[in-house]
Every structure is written in structure tokens, then in C-alpha cells.
């Protein structure tokens, strides 16, 4: 008996939409075919709605620990599920940071008991001597490495250590001397930062986080060596005028740029590898204070904002699936954990979408603990339903299940 048969889906398979049914067993897709049925099977009729592979957000800050007042694993991953994200890659700049195996293991166990979507955890880079133990605990990417916190020599030592392990270095590019001189962190800080990193002797995998200026995309893509990059929704949908309007709620690193830069990113949407949210929640109180901390929530609104662009004809559905699901899976090596689209043998990480259902985005209706969004009043197309490994985690506005797993613990192929 299967867990579930999805009837009458318009499923995104190999680059296009196909009318089909889908059989799910033990959390995996086992059959993709029309007219599936079974006497004892649980059927779910999707009535022709679109079925997409769940999104993989490779840059989220789930907080927890001493910052659980901003976000915790349950609220953060509920927000992910409600936004069609079925796997998140958590950043290690928590309080306390994830720089030892003990902290990693504690975080895995906390997340395993609270998360409703699957997750990976990146390793922090403050203690070189601990990189191996973090790797042995499942870490395959280190960072985001805040370039502006390190002198070039120590940055190089960190990268070499990561590459010795065969892991991925993920870099937040902003040049130290530049941001120390100018707290507004203009584009030149990021551009010079990217140039410095590209000029290092690179012999391993390098991924640039949240590139916010078109020149940065061009530098990375013409720099050779196969470096990859992500762009955030806030740099695609907001600009410096919004920063003036939003005050502290519009402050993040790297900051919002000019409208020309924003448009330049859209013009390069075919060169971008990944769209990732940099979900970085802070409280209303913090954002309204004199010195608001940088960061905006975004894991729940990323796919909905992008789906609206698909509906408006500004982006193909194929490109969207590449940007939020296929490329993240291939760059972060998630295929071996079953994250490989709507195919027989893949995890049934799926989202059901009605392209007619446009919704005004309201911060107080989102599932993040912070209850605000920089996209207040904008339009999104939110998923109707989200499944993680075949389980309905989110449906019609409510999180109704889910038991997120640390992906390395699921692996049959990759033992450490």
C-alpha cells in the first residue's frame, strides 16, 4: 500500500508541466503515471493544480539558541513550509555559533525535534582546528564567511582548510577596510570584496552569498573557476527608495541598492545560479531602535514573489524551478539525499500551486516569529499545500504536520 496517491496533478517534470498521477511510498515518489489507483490507497485529488518540486533555500538564519526570541526551528521552518520551501540550509552565526562538534550535534538534535522541513547546517569558521570534526558531523559547506571580519591572510587560511576537506566555502563578500570606512556599505565594498576573493589562489568550491550588484554577478561569472552565486529576493524586488520608506525594516547587509542595480540583477537572471532568501529575522523592537540590526525575513515570501513574476510573464517556470530547486540541489550536493525534483526515486517534497490565487502579503499573517515583512502590501502566489517526504506539512494557511530531518542522517550513500 502506498502512503498517498496524488490524483490529477499538473506536475513539473523535466522542464514542463505534465498531467499525471503520482504514487508516494515511504516518503518517496515511486510511480508517475495517469490513472493510478489502489483499493486501500489514500487519494488526494489536486484537480489540475500545478505540482512543483519543493524549493531549497540555501541561506536561512533559523536563530534559536539565545536568539530564539527572534526565531526558532519550529517557527522558521513553518514559515519555510508555508512559502513552499521543503529544505533549508541553516547558517552558523547563531548565539552561540556553530564552531564545535558538540554545538553542531546539539543544534541537530534541537532542529530534529522542532523542524517541519528538512535541513542542513553549515559550519562556522572561527576555529580552524574544528573544521574536521564539523565535517565528520555532516557539514559540507562552511560559512557564510563574513569577509569583512577577516584579514586577507586569515581568510585564505580558512578557505584552504575548507578545500582540504573537499567542502564548499560560502562567502559573504564585503571588503573589511571598506565597510570599516563607510558604515553605509556602498556597492564598491562588495565589488572590491569579490575581486579580492577571486584573486586568491582558488583550488576548491566557492559560492558567493547574496550578490546585490550586477557588476558582482559579471565578475563572478567571468572570473573562471566555476564559482557560483546566489541573489536574494530583497535585492530583486526592493531598492534604496524602499530603504528610505522602510527605515530599520529595510536595513540588511549587503544593503538595498539603486533601482538601476535592481533591474541589472533581473537582466542577469540567466547568469544567477540560485535565489536564496537570507531569511534573517529580528524583532519589531530591534528594528525600531536607534541602531537596527541588519537582516529581513524572507523564506516564506521568496517562492510566492517569484511565482507572481512567472504569472506576469517576466520569468519562465523552468527558470524559477532551476533557481530555487534544481541548482541549489546540485550545487549543495543534495541529490544523494533524495532531493532531485519530481522523479521516480526522489523524496516527495512537493508544493501545490494555484496560479489564480494571488494574495496580498501581510507580515502578521506570516509564520515567522517576527511577524513583519519588507514586502508588506505586495502580491504573492502562495502554495496551497506543501509536502515533505510525502507528508502534508502545510495546507490552506496552517502547518499541520512535519518532522524535519538532518539530511546527512537520511543518506544511504554517503557515510562519514
Contact residues for Zn ion, defined by CB under 5 A: 144, 172
> Of 32, 116, 178, 252, which lies in the binding site for ligand DOR, with binding defined by CB under 6 A?
252
Contact call for residues 369 and 71 (beta carbons, < 8 A): yes
Per DSSP, what are the bridge partners of residue 57? 88
The answer to whether 59 is a known ligand-binding residue is yes
What's the min distance (Å) between Cβ of 167 and ligand DOR? 20
Is 248 a binder of ligand DOR (CB under 6 A)?
A: no
DSSP string, 363-392: GGGSSSTT---TTTT-EE---SEEEETTEE
DSSP string, 162-223: HHHTT-EEEEE---HHHHHH-TT--HHHHHHHHHHHHHS---SEEEE----SHHHHHHHHHS
Q: Which of residues 168-187 bind ligand DOR (CB under 6 A)?
A: 172
The site map against ligand DOR for 121-160 (x = CB under 6 A) is ----------------------------------------
Residue 313, C-alpha cell as written in the block? 510573464
Residue 261 among the catalytic residues = no
Total residues contacting ligand DOR by CB under 6 A comes to 8
- The smaller minimum CB distance to Zn ion, of residues 248 and 335, is found at 248
- The site map against ligand DOR for 53-72 (x = CB under 6 A) is --------x-----------
249: Cα within 13 Å, side-chain hemisphere = 18
Partner in contact with 61, chosen from ligand DOR, Zn ion, none, beta carbon below 5 to 8 Å by kind: ligand DOR
Residue 240: count of CB within 10 angstroms of its CB? 15
Which residue in 60, 166, 232, 112 sits closest to 414, CA to CA? 166
Output the smallest distance, CB 49 to Zn ion, in A.
35
Site string for ligand DOR, 340-379 (x = CB under 6 A): ----------------------------------------
Angle between helices 214-222 and 259-267 in degrees, nearest 10: 40
What is the dihedral angle through the alpha carbons of 353, 359, 361, 366, rounded to the nearest 10 degrees?
A: -50
- Considering only residues 194 to 233 of the shown chain, the ones binding ligand DOR according to CB under 6 A are none
20 interacts with, out of ligand DOR, Zn ion, none, CB within 5 to 8 A per kind:
none
Cα–Cα separations (whole angstroms), residue 306 to 240, 248, 317 = 20, 24, 9
The nearer residue to Zn ion, 56 or 171, going by C-beta atoms, is: 171
Minimum CB separation of residue 279 from ligand DOR in Å reads 9
| Residue (114 or 232) nearer to Zn ion, CB | 232
Binders in 279-298 for ligand DOR, by CB under 6 A: 280, 294-295
Nearer to ligand DOR (CB atom), residue 228 or residue 325: 228
Which one of the listed residues 64, 278, 347, 349 is annotated catalytic? Answer: 278
- Residue of minimal Cβ distance to Zn ion: 172
- Give the 3-state secondary structure of residue 409: helix
Distance CA 232, CA 243 (A): 15
Quote the least distance from Cβ 173 to Zn ion, whole Å.
Answer: 9
Alpha helices in 253-406, H assignment, sequence order: 259-267, 284-288, 302-311, 317-321, 327-331
Q: Which does 298 bind (CB under 5 to 8 A by kind): Zn ion, ligand DOR, none?
A: none
Kind plus residue range of the DSSP H or E element containing 155: helix 152-164
Q: CB-based contacts of 354: which residues, under 8 Å, 6+ apart?
A: 49, 50, 381, 384
Q: Is 339 in the site for ligand DOR (CB under 6 A)?
A: no
The nearer residue to ligand DOR, 295 or 380, going by C-beta atoms, is 295
303 exposure class (CB count in 10 Å sphere: 0-12, 13-18, 19+): buried
Q: Indicate the residue among 145 and 269 with the shorter CB distance to Zn ion.
A: 145
Nearer to ligand DOR, 166 or 247 (CB): 247
Residue, CB closest to ligand DOR: 295
Q: How large is the C-alpha radius of gyration of the chain?
A: 20
What's the half-sphere exposure (Cβ side, CA atoms, 13 Å) at 30? 13
By the criterion CB under 6 A, which residues form the site for ligand DOR? 61, 93, 172, 252-253, 280, 294-295
Q: Could you give the residue numbers annotated as active site?
A: 278
In the annotated binding site for substrate, the residues are 61-63, 93, 282, 294-295
In the annotated binding site for Zn(2+), the residues are 59, 61, 144, 172, 210, 278
Amino acid at each position: 500500500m502506498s502512503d498517498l496517491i496524488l490524483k490529477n496533478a499538473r506536475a513539473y517534470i523535466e522542464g514542463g508541466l505534465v498531467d499525471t498521477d503520482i504514487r508516494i511510498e515511504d516518503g518517496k515518489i515511486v510511480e508517475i503515471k495517469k490513472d493510478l489507483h489502489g483499493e486501500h490507497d489514500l487519494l488526494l485529488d489536486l484537480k489540475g493544480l500545478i505540482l512543483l518540486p519543493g524549493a531549497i533555500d540555501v541561506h536561512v538564519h533559523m536563530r534559536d539558541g539565545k536568539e530564539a526570541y527572534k526565531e526558532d526551528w519550529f517557527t522558521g521552518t513553518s514559515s519555510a513550509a508555508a512559502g513552499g520551501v521543503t529544505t533549508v540550509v541553516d547558517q552558523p552565526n547563531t548565539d552561540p555559533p556553530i564552531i564545535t562538534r558538540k554545538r553542531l550535534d546539539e543544534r541537530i538534535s534541537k532542529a530534529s525535534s522542532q523542524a517541519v522541513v528538512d535541513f542542513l547546517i553549515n559550519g562556522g569558521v572561527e576555529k580552524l582546528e574544528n573544521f574536521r570534526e564539523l565535517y565528520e558531523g555532516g557539514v559540507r559547506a562552511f560559512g557564510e564567511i563574513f569577509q569583512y571580519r577577516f584579514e586577507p591572510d586569515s581568510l585564505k587560511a580558512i578557505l584552504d582548510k575548507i578545500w582540504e576537506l573537499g567542502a564548499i566555502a560560502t562567502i559573504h563578500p564585503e571588503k573589511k577596510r571598506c565597510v570599516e570606512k563607510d558604515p553605509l556599505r556602498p556597492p564598491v565594498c562588495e565589488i572590491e570584496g569579490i575581486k579580492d576573493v577571486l584573486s586568491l589562489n582558488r583550488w576548491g568550491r566557492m559560492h558567493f552569498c547574496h550578490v546585490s550588484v550586477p557588476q558582482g554577478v559579471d565578475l563572478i561569472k567571468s572570473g573562471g573557476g566555476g564559482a557560483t552565486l546566489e541573489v536574494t529576493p530583497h535585492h530583486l524586488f526592493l531598492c534604496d527608495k524602499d530603504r528610505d520608506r522602510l527605515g530599520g525594516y529595510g536595513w540588511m547587509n549587503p544593503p538595498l541598492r539603486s533601482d538601476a542595480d535592481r533591474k541589472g540583477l533581473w537582466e542577469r537572471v540567466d547568469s544567477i545560479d540560485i535565489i536564496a532568501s537570507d531569511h534573517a529575522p529580528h524583532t519589531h523592537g530591534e528594528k525600531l531602535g536607534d541602531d537596527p540590526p541588519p537582516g529581513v525575513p524572507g523564506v516564506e515570501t521568496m517562492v510566492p514573489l517569484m511565482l507572481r513574476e512567472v504569472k506576469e510573464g517576466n520569468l519562465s517556470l523552468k527558470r524559477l524551478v532551476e533557481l530555487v530547486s534544481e541548482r541549489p540541489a546540485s550545487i549543495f550536493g543534495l541529490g544523494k539525499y533524495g532531493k532531485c525534483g519530481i522523479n521516480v526515486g526522489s523524496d516527495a517534497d512537493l508544493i501545490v500551486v494555484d496560479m489564480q490565487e494571488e494574495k496580498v502579503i501581510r507580515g502578521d499573517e506570516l509564520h515567522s516569529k517576527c511577524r513583519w515583512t519588507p514586502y508588506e502590501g505586495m502580491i504573492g502566489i502562495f502554495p496551497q499545500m506543501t509536502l515533505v517526504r510525502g507528508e502534508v506539512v502545510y495546507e490552506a494557511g496552517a502547518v499541520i504536520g512535519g518532522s524535519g530531518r538532518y539530511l546527512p542522517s537520511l543518506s544511504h550513500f554517503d557515510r562519514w
